[in-house]
A = this chain, B = another copy of it.
Amino acid sequence: MSRVTCQISMSLDGYVAGPNQSMDDPIGEGGMDLHQWALATSTWREQHGGRGGERNADAEIVERSMQGVGAFIMGRRMFGGGDGPWDESWQGWWGEDPPYHAPVFVLTHHPREPLTMQGGTTFTFVTDGIEAALEQARAAAGDLDVAIAGGASAVNQYLAAGLLDELHLHVGPITLGAGERLFDGVGRLSFEPVEVVASPAVTHLKYRALR
């Protein structure tokens, strides 16, 4: 059975992006520090056309994070290109061959024709809400999982609606003090701890949502 999953890097104080996000600094001040653990791995570098990097527990986590995912959902801000009606020259942050290699459904209030990229990534723009996006993503994923790619607002909407099955947090040993918070507005939720993997750089906590 297809599950709805999310894996996301978070600071100790619950932020998944720093303050003052902009087109030049899409992840906000200090936000990149949350991702250094992944960028240092061999797996991430290979996925993004690079070489070298660490072959460690973190590399294995990165590798597993893309396995079994048949479709992705992301928020408008994660896809980028600013607010309001689309500047259609914007095709995302990732170049011609984005690292998704699967259908990606982008939550937005502004209609846009689908985009077909290289390597199997397509971006479909969904204007009728998170449940409609999930329905389309499930249909595209078949027996594989649907991954909520981010950012905080998209993940929080799926959490609050009780639509997320598995949450994999990569908790970095820093506080950011401000920015975009995971779990904002989700109320009281319960999870079952499924797996804990500790590395020198980050702690990976996997949870199953309880309903």
Interfacial residues, chain A to chain B (CB-CB below 8 A): 12-14, 30, 169, 171, 173-177, 181-183, 185-193, 196, 198, 200-203, 205, 207
Q: List 21 A-B contacts (CB under 8 A).
A: A12-B183, A12-B191, A13-B14, A13-B183, A14-B14, A30-B188, A173-B190, A173-B192, A173-B193, A175-B183, A175-B186, A175-B187, A177-B183, A177-B185, A177-B187, A177-B188, A193-B200, A196-B196, A196-B198, A203-B203, A203-B205
Most B CB atoms within 10 A — which of A175, A177, A202, A203? A175
Given known A193-B173, A207-B173, contact A186–B13 (CB-CB < 8 A): yes
Residue among B30, B175, B182, B188 making CB contact with A176, cutoff 8 Å: B188
Number of identical monomers bound together in the oligomeric complex: 2
Q: Is the CB of A177 within 8 A of B173?
A: no
Q: How far is the CA of A192 from the CA of B176 in the complex (A)?
A: 15
Residue of B nearest to A202 (CB): B193
Contacts of A171 in B (CB 8 A): 205
Q: How far is the CA of A59 from the CA of B193 in the complex (A)?
A: 18
Contacts of A175 in B (CB 8 A): 183, 186-189
Q: How far is the CA of A169 from the CA of B14 in the complex (A)?
A: 14
Given known A14-B14, A203-B205, A205-B203, contact A193–B198 (CB-CB < 8 A): yes
